[in-house]
Amino acid sequence: MRQGKKFALFQKRSFMEQVKSKHMEVEMLVGYMRVSKSDGSQTTDLQRDALLAEGIDPKFIYEDLASSRRDDRPGLASCLKSLRDGDTLVVWKLDRLGRDLRELVNLVHDLTQRNIGFKVLSGHGASIDTTTANGKLVFGIFAALAEFERELIRERTMAGLASARARGRMGGRPRKLNQTKIELAATALANMETNVGELCKLLGVSRQTLYRHIAPNGDLRNDTKRLLS
């Protein structure tokens, strides 16, 4: 009799686990919306209505009241964390998700790696739906444009640096120690009576910066010699 009850209890638990497992495997639509200002001048009403019309449960809609340029977007972080295998992330417009095309491409690529779909409801990216073949094709074009944009920026940067070097200017931050200051510091350090603290104040640099260019005995570092040459 006891064995029968144990078997019945085992069957009941097994059935409940199967139901729970099937429930967890249900593919869900998860929405994300964002406005740039949190002072009440902008609202998410239009985005929310569009996401609800798509059939998204209000419990699975995440939001941020912050500019896309900010790194700390807790709503987006929670949204991405909640997504599971087979789910689809839905946004009203493409610019609600990322700050630039490259970030968007990287984000959607990560979603694809996790077997999560991505869908845009309106705007320029309305043809993007990575759960369909046509949508994947459109996103592939976006990815190619992002790569083209990245290469174009790199080429322009390199060309600008080459042009600056040709005119005697070097890229990067201005050096705190120019050639005149380095020569002055080297001469001063060669004198054992020089107060290093006072010298640093005079030159407007830290002791660490000074010794990065010149040894305590006044000799120039090899990197400094190459820089001056």
SS3 at position 36: coil
Question: Is 21 one of the catalytic residues?
Answer: no
What tokens does 113 get?
Answer: 């790696």
User: Of 130, 138, 126, 142, whose CA–CA distance to 93 is shortest?
Assistant: 126
Task: Name the E strands within the chain.
Answer: 29-35, 61-65, 88-91, 117-120
Distance separating alpha carbons of residues 139 and 147, to the nearest angstrom: 12
**CA distances in angstroms from 93 to 14, 34, 87, 163, listed in the order given:** 43, 10, 18, 40
**Taking the mean position of all CA atoms in its chain, how far away is CA 180?**
42
DSSP per-residue codes, 203-223: HT--HHHHHHHB-TTSPBPHH
**CA distances in angstroms from 114 to 56, 62, 88, 123, listed in the order given:** 20, 19, 11, 26
Catalytic: which of 21, 36, 67, 163? Answer: 36
User: Of 196, 187, 182, whose CA–CA distance to 224 is shortest?
Assistant: 182
Q: Which residues pair with 29 in a beta bridge?
A: 88
Residues tagged active-site: 36
